[in-house]
Chain A
Amino acid sequence: MTATPHAGRTARRRRVSGAVMAAPALLLFGLFGVLPLGGVLVLGFADWDGLGTISWSGADNWTAVFTDAATWDALWLTVKVMVISWVVQTPISLALGVFQAPAARWRAVLAVLWFLPLVLSAVAIGLAWQALLDPSFGLGSVPGLGFLAEPLLGSPDLALYTVIFVIAWQFIPFHALLYQAGVRQIPAALYEAAAIDGASRVQRFLVITLPQLRYTLITSSTLMLIGSLTYFDLIFVLSGGTGGPGTATRVLPLAMYITGFQSHDMGRASVLATTLVVFGLVLSLLITRLSRFTAMDSQQEGLT
């Protein structure tokens, strides 16, 4: 397309109207996203207990936080939760998504059933599982389920995995839904052609379904990884608000909360918050880069 003066004007007008349309969202994002973030960054260099006057402390909070072994423990636990959650949730979600995609009433009924956890609030899920996993009065007291009468949430070795299990229980339905939508988008013609060529079920899944679900996989993985990075409420409830036993489930967001709102050390809590933000940004940038996620848009618009 050659650039005529007319076309240039249209483009400019389009750019202006685009800015106008984006303005409310940008304003809200600035007000509730960027501004508090700036505040947190500044507070990282200050000493404040939330009550008295704020005094500057230079880089003290930063050195204190990063020389504290507890911070690195929390970071390591966070990475563990992220990676294990991804490894556990992705195959199950994919399998469930592929299973519930074809139109059949019984599949829909099952899909509704395992969609239920997503409708519940994290606190309700946490309290319910806490009661279920209680070694004296929970599932373990049911005849035949005695093997569950273990301190699943109380053992420093098992607590983290129990928490990851409950998180998976809550979020697998959501990711299954994503995959279901992805599978339904795949043109039936591809499968028909493959069937004519005599491809087996497994071949069809590996050669058609999986590659076609690539962007769904990226979307789901991004949500999963970033989501588990900042995941807080369920872990808070399951560990009785302490990140325990010991510090076995004290992930970074929980450490931040405890530092800020139980120890009332807003400076160090802000350092932890900034760390979390930077970690999250780097992670999502990495995912989009490595997966060439942005290429998806240009494909859709036919620009590349």
Chain B
Amino acid sequence: MSVSPLSGIARRRFLAATAVAAAGVVLAACGTAGPGGEPAAGTAALTMWALNDQTVLKASVDAYNTDHPDAKIDLQLYANDDYKQKIRVAFGAGQAPDLFFNWGGGGLRDYVKAGKVAEVPTAVDADRFTPSVLKTATFDGKLYGVPCNGLAPVVLYYNKKVLADAGLQPPKTWDDLLAAVGTLKGKGITPISLAAGSKWPTLMWEEYLLDRVGGADLFSAVEAGDSTAWTKPAVTEANKLLRELVDAGAFGDSASSLTYDQGASTALVYTGKAAMELMGTWEYANFAKAAPDFVKSDLGYTTFPTVPGGAGEEKAIVGNPSNFLSVNAASSTEKQAAAAEYLSKYVLNTDQVAKFLDSGTVPPVMDLERTLQDSTSPDKDWMWFVYDLVNEAPTFQLSWDQALPSTSADPLLTNIDKVFLGQLEPERFGQEMSKVAGS
């Protein structure tokens, strides 16, 4: 099924038609299921766990429940930090839900390896999703997750007014960036806002730098388990660039005091105390919520600068391709059938895509051009930017801490933080990481 550009009314009619087809009951759309109606395709009640900020996804469950009043999905929502632990413990104890929200990559691979996850049901038409996104949930050629929310590449945000006041253009190359850092610092402005206290925001710099310097293949080798890849010269080179930026004072003195969840790193940009920030596309929604006027007039965004002489492509991106919904392998056949019904007809269907676009998020669905063209959303420019960014990207690298096995994630973040703090020499970063990967 491809997503067709429908107007509001047509879309609603189309949805009603889908609902009717799904329920197999002609009157279901009117909310009065006739006594003689056929049972719905999914007859088993399901449990599903997701994050509590997934309001659009929740609407898809509500739609499913309206169509399947006798066998609803019981959706439990959790806060970000507890969720990963909770789902892990639940699977270990055999108490896991039928459908669960995840990040794909190394985390999901753990579950697949342990035989906890069923392949995506054949009823789901995988061709309608962006291929680079599906790769994140594909292991040994089999797909284990259905994309369920927006694309989240990492982009460089900037405060247009701050850059203009300093007589600067958004940086296109590494040298531009260094020059901008020098100018901004001279004006008493923190050049780049970074929540280094949370460590993963620093990782975003490292990911882009290694990609620009060493090309996308280098990290693919690490991901494939080649522990010698960490000791390639490009890794040291990337870390030296990061140090160069830190030593130039790009992140100010207080970056390590900021944790992302506190919101100070976001606030620094919209209050004009900092000029730029490298962050995932979810930050746009944070800006819009905290400072709507800033988004209208002064928020700029661009791709990560190129590094002269680097092996990487200038349009390659890193980030979180999207989140996924996966099916518990231990669920009964009936439940898996019901899950297939939900995943194929309710997840990222026309209505969901429209809802995501309304919220300024671009879902990983093919052929969105016409929908975007017809959009009247104030965030239209932003959505085009994200859509083109992903569509034109030769590679879309999943965040390293998500892509690598969970045993590597903490040493990775800690070592990068140590490079950032000057506690670990750029030359030694690769050695430390290859030790972890080899053990």
A-side residues, CB < 8 A to B, are 49-52, 64, 127, 130-131, 133-137, 149-156, 239-242, 244-247, 258-259, 261-265
Name B407's contact: one of A137, A240, A265 (CB within 8 Å).
A265
User: 19 new A-B pairs (CB below 8 Å) besides A51-B110, A242-B414?
Assistant: A49-B406, A50-B88, A50-B89, A51-B114, A52-B114, A134-B264, A137-B264, A149-B254, A151-B254, A151-B255, A155-B257, A240-B198, A242-B197, A242-B199, A244-B197, A244-B199, A245-B197, A245-B417, A247-B414
Name A134's contact: one of B114, B262, B417 (CB within 8 Å).
B262
A-B contact pairs, 30 of them (CB 8 A): A49-B110, A50-B88, A51-B92, A52-B113, A52-B114, A133-B257, A135-B253, A151-B256, A153-B256, A154-B197, A154-B257, A155-B256, A156-B421, A156-B423, A240-B259, A240-B261, A242-B417, A244-B197, A244-B414, A244-B417, A245-B196, A246-B417, A246-B423, A247-B414, A261-B85, A261-B88, A262-B409, A263-B407, A264-B406, A264-B407
Is residue B91 contacting chain A, with contact meaning CB distance below 8 A?
Answer: yes
Given the complex, which residues of B lie within 8 Å of A131, measured CB to CB? 262
Is residue B335 contacting chain A, with contact meaning CB distance below 8 A?
Answer: no
Chain B's closest residue to A137 (CB) is B264
Is residue B111 contacting chain A, with contact meaning CB distance below 8 A?
Answer: yes
Within 8 A of A (CB), among B411-439: 413-414, 417-418, 421, 423, 439
Name B197's contact: one of A49, A50, A240, A247 (CB within 8 Å).
A240
Is residue B23 contacting chain A, with contact meaning CB distance below 8 A?
Answer: no
Tell me how far the C-beta of B34 lies from the nearest C-beta in chain A, rounded to whole angstroms: 45
CB <8 Å contact, A134 and B257:
yes
B-side residues, CB < 8 A to A, are 81, 85, 88-89, 91-92, 110-111, 113-114, 116, 196-199, 253-262, 264, 267-268, 273, 406-407, 409-410, 413-414, 417-418, 421, 423, 439
Tell me how far the C-beta of A68 lies from the nearest C-beta in chain B, rounded to whole angstroms: 10
Main secondary structure of the interface of A (DSSP, over half): loop
Tell me how far the C-beta of A27 lies from the nearest C-beta in chain B, rounded to whole angstroms: 24
Q: In the complex, what distance in Å separates the CA atom of A246 from the CA atom of B92?
A: 31
Tell me how far the C-beta of A65 lies from the nearest C-beta in chain B, rounded to whole angstroms: 12
Given the complex, which residues of A lie within 8 Å of B253, measured CB to CB? 135, 150-151
Q: In the complex, what distance in Å separates the CA atom of A245 from the CA atom of B196?
A: 8
Beyond A154-B197, A240-B259, A244-B417, whether A262 also contacts B410 by CB under 8 A is yes
CB <8 Å contact, B85 and A153:
no
Tell me how far the C-beta of A162 lies from the nearest C-beta in chain B, rounded to whole angstroms: 10
Q: In the complex, what distance in Å separates the CA atom of A153 from the CA atom of B255?
A: 10
Q: In the complex, what distance in Å separates the CA atom of A116 from the CA atom of B410?
A: 36
Name B88's contact: one of A130, A242, A264 (CB within 8 Å).
A264
CB <8 Å contact, A135 and B417:
no
CB <8 Å contact, B264 and A136:
yes
CB <8 Å contact, A263 and B196:
no
Name, among A152, A242, A261, the residue most crowded by chain B CB atoms within 10 Å (CB to CB). A242
CB <8 Å contact, A263 and B417:
no
Q: How many A-B residue pairs have CB under 8 A?
A: 107
Name A51's contact: one of B81, B116, B423 (CB within 8 Å).
B116
CB <8 Å contact, A153 and B197:
yes
Name A130's contact: one of B196, B259, B406 (CB within 8 Å).
B259
Tell me how far the C-beta of B276 lies from the nearest C-beta in chain A, rounded to whole angstroms: 15
Given the complex, which residues of B lie within 8 Å of A127, measured CB to CB? 262
Tell me how far the C-beta of A129 lies from the nearest C-beta in chain B, rounded to whole angstroms: 11
Q: In the complex, what distance in Å separates the CA atom of A130 from the CA atom of B439?
A: 36
Tell me how far the C-beta of A271 lies from the nearest C-beta in chain B, rounded to whole angstroms: 15
CB <8 Å contact, A245 and B256:
yes
Tell me how far the C-beta of A120 lies from the nearest C-beta in chain B, rounded to whole angstroms: 18
Name, among A51, A130, A261, the residue most crowded by chain B CB atoms within 10 Å (CB to CB). A51
Q: In the complex, what distance in Å separates the CA atom of A265 from the CA atom of B258?
A: 28
Tell me how far the C-beta of B81 lies from the nearest C-beta in chain A, rounded to whole angstroms: 7
CB <8 Å contact, B418 and A246:
yes
CB <8 Å contact, B254 and A258:
no
Chain A's closest residue to B421 (CB) is A246
Tell me how far the C-beta of A233 lies from the nearest C-beta in chain B, rounded to whole angstroms: 13
Given the complex, which residues of B lie within 8 Å of A241, measured CB to CB? 81
Q: In the complex, what distance in Å separates the CA atom of A259 from the CA atom of B89?
A: 15
Beyond A153-B197, A242-B413, whether A51 also contacts B267 by CB under 8 A is no
Chain A's closest residue to B110 (CB) is A51
Chain B's closest residue to A155 (CB) is B256
Q: In the complex, what distance in Å separates the CA atom of A265 from the CA atom of B407?
A: 7
Given the complex, which residues of B lie within 8 Å of A52, measured CB to CB? 113-114
Name B258's contact: one of A51, A134, A247 (CB within 8 Å).
A134
Name, among B92, B196, B259, B414, the residue most crowded by chain A CB atoms within 10 Å (CB to CB). B259
Q: In the complex, what distance in Å separates the CA atom of A206 from the CA atom of B62?
A: 71
Tell me how far the C-beta of B254 lies from the nearest C-beta in chain A, rounded to whole angstroms: 4
Given the complex, which residues of A lie within 8 Å of B110, measured CB to CB? 49, 51, 264
- What 6 pairs between A and B have smallest CB-CB spacing? A154-B256, A154-B257, A240-B259, A135-B254, A52-B114, A151-B257
Given the complex, which residues of A lie within 8 Å of B259, measured CB to CB? 130, 240
Given the complex, which residues of A lie within 8 Å of B439, measured CB to CB? 64
Beyond A154-B255, A154-B256, A246-B423, whether A239 also contacts B406 by CB under 8 A is no
Q: In the complex, what distance in Å separates the CA atom of A246 from the CA atom of B264?
A: 20
Tell me how far the C-beta of A146 lies from the nearest C-beta in chain B, rounded to whole angstroms: 13
Q: In the complex, what distance in Å separates the CA atom of A266 from the CA atom of B367?
A: 45
Given the complex, which residues of A lie within 8 Å of B196, measured CB to CB? 154, 245
CB <8 Å contact, A152 and B407:
no
Name B257's contact: one of A153, A258, A261, A264 (CB within 8 Å).
A153
Tell me how far the C-beta of A240 lies from the nearest C-beta in chain B, rounded to whole angstroms: 4
Tell me how far the C-beta of A135 lies from the nearest C-beta in chain B, rounded to whole angstroms: 4
CB <8 Å contact, A263 and B410:
yes
CB <8 Å contact, A136 and B198:
no
Given the complex, which residues of A lie within 8 Å of B261, measured CB to CB? 240
Q: In the complex, what distance in Å separates the CA atom of A216 from the CA atom of B111?
A: 52
